[in-house]
């Protein structure tokens, strides 16, 4: 970068419908007017990025550190006017990182030209100029008006594909959405699970997470923006992410940093909601919190996070007992962990530095990490790409939110998207149950794509 970026953040006031609001909605997902927009949305708030001012791509074991160094340099050089100084205001990068250090997939930070955000009911926008000129307040407001008015938002399931009016899933009218196997068919994947169980029983490792992929082809086109809007609408308690071709709605937070406070949401232990129908209200509690297998799996996941976070923390707290996270497709055993970050050499670590220390947790890899990682490569026969890798954003101060890219997929062409789902395997795991669990985890994306299963 020869010319430093110049950024201006403008407070757009409270967001909401009706007179007196510059942003005429309090639901950020309805501002997903551009199919290529980058986004991070939860309960109608978050950020959407339009256009591109800068980008960094990287592979390998140092991907987080190299990306962090690039970002620090970029923002150090930039001229920033940010009267708000909230987490997410000022220059912001969306990011997605490969799960594996050996992946060919390009990890990336993408810095949009325009970021539109809502936080605690207040809207703001940041415009970045790459040509050395200072953005004016008028230019920021004009840019927001432009992205909101053109092109018009399409209907859910829209794009070139017509949808069946009144269909609860918006099933495609031409009935041509195809669901095909990924790198391993169902039987071979269950064989891999059985092999994983034997290796655990043999004492090689304690827990292993095995994933598989399926390919969805939609001849009328993958309507990326419509998929994201549907996920944001149906899965309000998840973080809905869209970074280039990677889209999904994750319930799992690797690390969230605001100033000196870091938070994580650890999940492990899953129950398909369909299996809970008619079983009584306390069924999820009994099956998840009351099961030694699920509690064991969960304990391993928490341990892996807290041990990795401890060197960066002055204090850490978590509830004694995990809680049940209720999503439209599954129940999870969940724990929130909060840490007060320590200053190291006069600085609080950036969210990306923490990602470097925490990824991969046992929730998506296993324990011990290196044994599980090698076994994943041996058994899955899959390059996970960005699936189960960190996805999120960071700002100039290092604040950020990095979810784990679960319950999502990668758009591979105009008409094809590859979906990924995995399960924690312990000694008591049964391949058929794990296969069923992957289908429950594919469900948010399948439904957003107009497929029911
Ligand atoms: C690996 C996935 O999910 C992870 C595995 C879970 C489990 O095995 O119970 C639960 C949540 C996630 O930590 C996935 O969704 O693909």
From residue 430, how far is each of 91, 155, 227, 330, 437 by CA, in Å? 47, 41, 32, 18, 11
What pLDDT score was predicted for residue 157?
A: 42
**Cα separation, 396 vs 93, whole angstroms:** 9
One domain for residues 427 and 352: yes
**396-452: pLDDT as tens digits:** 999 999 999 999 999 999 999 999 999 999 999 999 999 999 999 999 999 999 997
Q: What is the pLDDT along the chain (453 residues), one digit of tens a residue?
A: 468 999 999 999 999 998 889 999 999 999 999 999 999 999 999 999 999 999 999 999 999 999 999 999 999 999 999 999 999 999 999 999 999 999 999 999 999 999 999 999 999 999 999 999 999 999 999 999 999 996 655 544 433 333 333 333 333 444 689 999 999 999 999 999 999 999 999 999 999 999 999 999 999 999 999 999 999 999 999 999 999 999 999 999 999 999 999 999 999 889 999 998 889 889 999 989 898 888 888 888 898 899 999 999 999 998 888 999 999 999 999 999 999 999 988 899 999 999 999 999 999 999 999 999 999 999 999 999 999 999 999 999 999 999 999 999 999 999 999 999 999 999 999 999 999 999 999 999 999 999 977
- ipTM value > 0.90: yes
What pLDDT score was predicted for residue 211?
A: 98
The residue to mutate among 293, 333, 406, having the most atoms of ligand 1 within 8 angstroms of its beta carbon, is: 406
406 lines ligand 1 (CB under 6 A): yes
Closest-lying ligand 1 atom to the alpha carbon of residue 266 = 13
What the block records as the tokens of 304 is 């892996």
**Cα separation, 252 vs 426, whole angstroms:** 20
Domain that holds residue 360: 178-238+253-448
One domain for residues 299 and 407: yes
Domain boundary among the residues 149, 167, 202 is at 149
One domain for residues 145 and 184: no
Closest-lying ligand 1 atom to the alpha carbon of residue 387 = 16
What pLDDT score was predicted for residue 176?
A: 82
> Catalytic site residue 452?
no
The residue to mutate among 235, 270, 329, having the most atoms of ligand 1 within 8 angstroms of its beta carbon, is: 270
Residue 167 lies in a domain: no
**Cα separation, 442 vs 453, whole angstroms:** 9
One domain for residues 144 and 210: no
Residue 132 lies in a domain: yes
Residue 405 lies in a domain: yes
Task: Let me know if 343 is exposed, middle or buried by CB neighbors in 10 A (0-12, 13-18, 19+).
Answer: exposed
One domain for residues 199 and 296: yes
What pLDDT score was predicted for residue 152?
A: 52
One domain for residues 116 and 206: no
What the block records as the tokens of 206 is 């304690």
Residue 208 DSSP class: E
Domain boundary among the residues 149, 169, 194 is at 149
CA–centroid distance, residue 424 to ligand 1 (Å): 6
Ligand 1, atom 6, residue with closest C-alpha: 268
Q: What is the mean pLDDT of the chain?
A: 92
Number of CB atoms found within 10 A of residue 320's CB: 5
One domain for residues 209 and 128: no
What pLDDT score was predicted for residue 380?
A: 96
Set 45, 68, 113, 207: catalytic member: 207
Domain boundary among the residues 102, 134, 149 is at 149
What pLDDT score was predicted for residue 151?
A: 64
**79-124: pLDDT as tens digits:** 999 999 999 999 999 999 999 999 999 999 999 999 999 999 999 9
CA–centroid distance, residue 435 to ligand 1 (Å): 12
Which residues, in sequence order, are bridge partners of residue 39? 48, 242
One domain for residues 115 and 206: no
For CA atoms 433, 178, 389, 392, the dihedral sign is negative
Please report the beta strands in 293-407, taking only residues with DSSP state E, as ranges in sequence order.
313-318, 323-326, 330-341, 366-367, 390-395, 400-404
Please state the domain count of the chain.
Answer: 2
270 lines ligand 1 (CB under 6 A): yes
What pLDDT score was predicted for residue 162?
A: 31
Residue 348 lies in a domain: yes
Distance of CA 121 to the CA centre of its chain: 22
Residue 412 lies in a domain: yes
From residue 267, how far is each of 253, 264, 298, 337 by CA, in Å? 9, 10, 7, 11
Residue 31 lies in a domain: yes
Ligand 1, atom 1, residue with closest C-alpha: 422
CATH code of the domain containing 224: 3.60.120.10
**Cα separation, 135 vs 81, whole angstroms:** 10
252 lines ligand 1 (CB under 6 A): yes
- Nearest alpha-carbon partner for 343 in 305, 310, 314: 314
One domain for residues 208 and 329: yes
Residue 156 lies in a domain: no
One domain for residues 65 and 138: yes
**Cα separation, 160 vs 222, whole angstroms:** 9
Q: Tell me the whole-structure pTM to 2 decimals.
A: 0.94
- Nearest alpha-carbon partner for 57 in 135, 111, 2: 111
- Nearest alpha-carbon partner for 43 in 54, 29, 61: 29
359 lines ligand 1 (CB under 6 A): no
449 lines ligand 1 (CB under 6 A): no
> Catalytic site residue 207?
yes
One domain for residues 124 and 234: no
Set 45, 68, 252, 434: catalytic member: 252
Residue 155 lies in a domain: no
441 lines ligand 1 (CB under 6 A): yes
One domain for residues 306 and 374: yes
């Amino acid at each position: 970068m020869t010319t430093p970026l110049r950024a201006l953040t403008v407070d757009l006031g409270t967001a909401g419908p009706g007179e007196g609001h510059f942003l005429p909605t309090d639901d950020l997902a309805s501002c997903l007017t551009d199919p290529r927009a980058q986004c991070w949305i939860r309960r109608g708030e978050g950020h959407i990025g339009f256009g591109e001012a800068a980008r960094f791509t990287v592979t390998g074991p140092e991907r987080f550190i190299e990306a962090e160094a690039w970002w620090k340099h970029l923002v150090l050089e930039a001229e920033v006017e940010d009267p708000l100084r909230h987490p997410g205001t000022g220059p912001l990068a969306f990011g997605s990182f490969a799960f594996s250090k050996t992946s060919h997939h390009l990890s990336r930070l993408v810095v949009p030209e325009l970021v539109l955000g809502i936080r605690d009911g207040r809207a703001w926008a940041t415009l970045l100029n790459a040509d050395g000129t200072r953005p004016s307040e008028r230019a920021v407001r004009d840019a927001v008006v432009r992205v909101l008015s053109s092109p018009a938002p399409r209907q859910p399931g829209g794009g070139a594909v017509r949808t069946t009016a009144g269909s609860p899933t918006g099933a495609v009218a031409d009935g041509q959405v195809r669901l095909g196997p990924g790198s391993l068919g169902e039987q071979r994947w269950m064989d891999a699970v059985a092999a994983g169980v034997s290796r655990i029983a043999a004492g090689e490792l304690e827990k292993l997470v095995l994933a598989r992929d399926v390919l969805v082809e939609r001849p009328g086109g993958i309507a990326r923006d419509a998929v994201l809007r549907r996920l944001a609408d149906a899965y309000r308690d998840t973080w809905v992410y869209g970074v280039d071709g990677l889209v999904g709605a994750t319930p799992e937070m690797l690390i969230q940093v605001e100033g000196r406070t870091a938070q994580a949401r650890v999940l492990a232990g899953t129950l398909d909601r369909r299996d809970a129908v008619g079983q009584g209200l306390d069924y999820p509690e009994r099956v998840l919190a009351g099961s030694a297998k699920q509690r064991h799996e969960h304990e391993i996941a928490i341990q892996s996070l807290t041990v990795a976070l401890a060197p960066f923390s002055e204090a850490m707290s978590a509830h004694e007992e995990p809680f049940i996270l209720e999503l439209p497709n599954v129940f999870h055993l969940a724990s929130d962990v909060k840490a007060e970050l320590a200053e190291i050499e006069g600085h609080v670590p950036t969210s990306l530095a923490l990602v470097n220390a925490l990824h991969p947790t046992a929730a998506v890899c296993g324990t011990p990490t290196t044994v599980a990682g090698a076994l994943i490569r041996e058994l899955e026969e899959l390059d996970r790409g960005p699936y189960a890798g960190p996805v999120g954003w960071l700002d100039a101060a290092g604040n950020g939110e990095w979810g784990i890219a679960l319950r999502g997929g990668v758009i591979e062409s105009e008409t094809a998207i590859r979906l990924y789902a995995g399960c924690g395997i312990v000694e008591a795991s049964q391949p058929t149950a794990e296969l069923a669990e992957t289908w429950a985890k594919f469900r948010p994306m399948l439904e957003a794509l107009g497929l029911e299963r």
